[in-house]
Amino acid sequence: MPQPFDISLITRGARIRRSPFFEATLKYGCKSYTVYNHMLLPSYFDDPVKEYWKLIEGVTLWDVGVERQVEITGRDAFKFTNLLTPRDLSRCKVGQGKYVLITDENGGIINDPVLMRLGENHFWLAVADSDVLLWAKGVALNSGMDVEVREPDVSPIQIQGPKSKQVMERLFGGKILEMPYYHFVETKLDGIPLIVTRTGWTGEVGYEIYLRDGSRGVELWEKVMEAGKPDNIAPTGPSDIRRIEAGILNYGIDMTLAENPYEVGLERLVELDQKADFIGKEALRRIKAEGVKRKLVGSRCQIVCKKI
């Protein structure tokens, strides 16, 4: 049994990067950070159970600048990006997003980003905690394809919870509410360049705002806080309680390079019948045919508290 561990024992150094919203999260009383993609990720501002109820009943604001983007452009960007993922990107239109897996040649999971298609040959991968940038650059090197792979100046926040709609309407007008799930628009807010997406890590109604100018993070944060005032918007960390309840997996815990999509119940993200080739296709076809020997399952437990 691992010993209990005091969370205050973790420190940081200059090596760990700060998001454009960092100063704002300090100002609003973030109590604890973790490290994700070599950056500080606010964990919570209040008791996690209280934060859960703020998300379920109201609206919450998260600094998820740690969701770094891997940007893929160039004449072969579509073909290259489709090579990286088992999802069939021919069914992803410009202006649309997809939850995708990045797999290696054995079908092992390298990451599970949200992919956005900004142009015919322009993609963003908003990555979980592993250096997909290095993987994609490595694959590109000998691919013979005309692509550029880089990390742009883009940092998302999430606005999640049932009251997120009215906050977004105040910020961007009523038209924003017509946006379908996993779609996005390019827009500006008082000149701040943004992409607004109908996505999130909660299973609740929610949006993400991708900031495209790192110098304007605190300004954007304050604008969202202001628009959310009538609904008591609260800065919180990502809710682990809610994401587990919603069956959303967390890379590095529920899946790693040692797991394949079939073992973690993400077979819906593997489209073996598509025409295009992708990394791991052969391995995943074999794994599907042979069946898996282990499988991640959910479990439910009820804890009854009695006064004693």
User: Among residues 138, 92, 107, which one has the least CA distance to residue 281?
Assistant: 107
Write out the two tokens for 61. 């604001």
User: Shortest distance, CB of residue 11 to a second copy, whole angstroms?
Assistant: 4
Shortest distance (Å) from residue 270 CB to a second copy: 19
Q: For binding to a second copy (CB under 8 A), which residues are involved?
A: 2-3, 5, 7-16, 18, 22-23, 26, 30-36, 38, 40, 43-44, 104-105, 110, 129-144, 240, 250-253, 257, 279
Q: In the bound complex, what is the minimum distance in angstroms from residue 133's beta carbon to a second copy?
A: 8
Nearer to a second copy, 40 or 61 (CB): 40
Half-sphere exposure of 34 (CA within 13 A, CB side): 9
Which is closer to a second copy, CB of 55 or CB of 227? 55
Q: Which is nearer to a second copy, 33 or 123 (CB)?
A: 33
Complete DSSP assignment for 189-245:
ETTEEEEEES--SSSSSEEEEEES-GGGHHHHHHHHHHHHGGGT-EE----HHHHHH
What is the smallest separation between the CB atom of 29 and a second copy, expressed in angstroms? 10
- Of 22 and 210, CB closest to a second copy: 22
Instruction: Report helix, strand or coil for 54.
Output: helix
Helix axes 164-172 and 217-228, enclosed angle (nearest 10) = 120
Which C-beta is closer to a second copy: that of 129 or that of 271?
129
Q: By the 8 A CB rule, do 35 and 16 touch?
A: yes
**Least distance between a second copy and beta carbon 68 (Å):** 12
